[in-house]
Amino acid sequence: MPDMNGMGEDHKPAPRLIPEGRGRYALCVPADASPLLLAARRRPAPYTPVWLMRQAGRYLPEYRAMRARFGFLELCRNPEAAAEVTLQPIERLGVDGAILFADILLILEPLDVGLEFAKGEGPVIHRPVRTAADVTRLGPIDVEAAVPFVFETVRLVTRALAGRVPLIGFAGAPFTVASYLVEGGSSRDYLAVKRLMYESPEAWHRLMSLLSDATARYLNGQIAAGAQAVQLFDSWVGALSPADYRVFVLPHVRALIRALAPGVPVIHFGTGTAALLPLMREAGGDVIGLDWRVDLDAGWAAVGHDVAVQGNLDPAVLLAARPYIRDRVKDVLTRAGGRPGHIFNLGHGVHQQTPAENVKALVDMVHELSGT
């Protein structure tokens, strides 16, 4: 019988040739067999896949050109423009995954807490949630009504990518989103969050449940729209002791991850987490994201070799000269030891001062040094 649906005999999608016009064809490897998704499932890949947090952002001249035309939230709310920004680094860098252009704080908009991205300051919440009474006043988050534009962006990007590389959806983990909601913006010591947590544990758990439920619906909406992997950013959870993480965070992250559509790899990322890694693993995720404050081999041993890892070059290394970058890339790859299940990334996002040519050089180095 002819293979009508393009699936191979063992039901693995086969590579296809996509006409590009003027007699040219592009080889389209179905995204399920992409190096990134293979590594996320700890299957051998032809080379170590690489993508970068904040690969779409201010270090790219083409992103800055878009920002000259749109405010940040305006850009997030405009699916055509957000899709264009998502695709910018794919064309330029040759990365193995696209990350949706959006923000972890978008789901807070229905709470009417006065979210603003102030110039030069990062996010600001004008009416922060500080007390148990404030938590009680919070309305429900109707995700479908709040962020339909995010799901539309996912649809546009998946269509444009046509399987070239998978699209990674994302959301903030409940602790990190709660930290903005309670502090009113970025913080150094997280004193308002910790005060709420210690003084009103019941209100804290209610807030975390509200955010976990909304976040699970948000990620499932992205998956339904076409995202092939999702990353949960717990960027600031390293502010907690392991004992506090276990009581105040772990049950919520576990419930959230268990509520996600099965079969789609989940990347669970945080920074400053060296002491929390075994607990993050316990909370869940197919891939644990490591920042640069832990050596990759030690971090992988801490989470266990029966889970994949992502990371973990210090993003500041990209400000150095090429030979130095190359040595440091080699070091990360050596620590991964050729074991299946490593996705190369930075330990956190690309700094805006980074020369775009160095980012491209990094991607090429990872491919060259890890390829067979």
Least gap, CB of 126 to ligand CP3 (angstroms)? 16
198: annotated active-site residue: no
Q: Which residue number, 158 or 200, has a Cβ lying nearer to ligand CP3?
A: 158
**117 lines the binding site for ligand CP3 (CB under 6 A):** yes
Q: Which of 54, 77, 164, 335 is catalytic?
A: 54
Single out the catalytic residue among 16, 32, 47, 58.
58
Determine whether 58 is an active site residue. yes
Burial 261-298 (b: 16+ CB within 10 A, else e): eeebbbbbbbbbbeebbebbbebbbbbbbbbbebebee
Smallest gap from residue 36 Cβ to ligand CP3 (A): 15
103 is catalytic: yes
The residue from 16, 32, 47, 67 that is catalytic is: 67
> Is 58 near ligand CP3 (CB under 6 A)?
yes
Q: End-to-end CA distance of the chain: give it in Å, rounded.
A: 36
Question: Can you tell me which of 40, 93, 99, 290 binds ligand CP3, judged by CB under 6 A?
Answer: 99
CA distance 118 to 156: 28
- If binding is defined by CB under 6 A, does position 233 make contact with ligand CP3? yes
Q: Does the footprint of ligand CP3 cover residue 184 (CB under 6 A)?
A: no
Distance CA 289, CA 278 (A): 12
Stretch that binds ligand CP3, among 56-64, 136-144, 255-263, 306-314 (CB under 6 A): 56-64
- The verdict on whether 137 is a catalytic residue reads no
Of 200 and 216, CB closest to ligand CP3 = 216
149 binds ligand CP3 (CB under 6 A): no
37 binds ligand CP3 (CB under 6 A): no
Catalytic residue of the set 59, 77, 96, 103: 103
Measure CA 315 to chain center. 15
Of 166, 28, 40, whose CA–CA distance to 95 is shortest? Answer: 166
Between CA 279 and CA 366 the distance in angstroms is 29
Residues 88/63, Cβ–Cβ less than 8 Å: yes
Cis peptide before 312 (omega within 30 of 0): yes
Binding ligand CP3 (rule: CB under 6 A), the pick from 48, 55, 158, 354 is 55
54 in active site: yes
Query: If you write DSSP's letter for every residue of 225-258 in order, what string do you get?
Result: HT-SEEEEEETTGGGS-HHHHHHHTHHHHHHHHH
The yes or no reply on residue 246 touching ligand CP3 (CB under 6 A) is no
**How many Cα neighbours within 13 Å face the side chain of 332?**
32
Count other C-beta atoms under 10 Å from residue 245's C-beta. 24
Q: Point out which residues pair with 19 in neighbouring strands.
A: 25
Interface residue with ligand CP3 among 59, 101, 151, 204 (CB under 6 A) is: 101
Min dist. Cβ of residue 5 to ligand CP3 (A): 33
Catalytic residues: 54, 58, 67, 103, 180
Binding residues for ligand CP3, rule: CB under 6 A, are 53-58, 67, 72, 99, 101, 103-105, 117, 122-123, 170, 186, 233, 235, 349
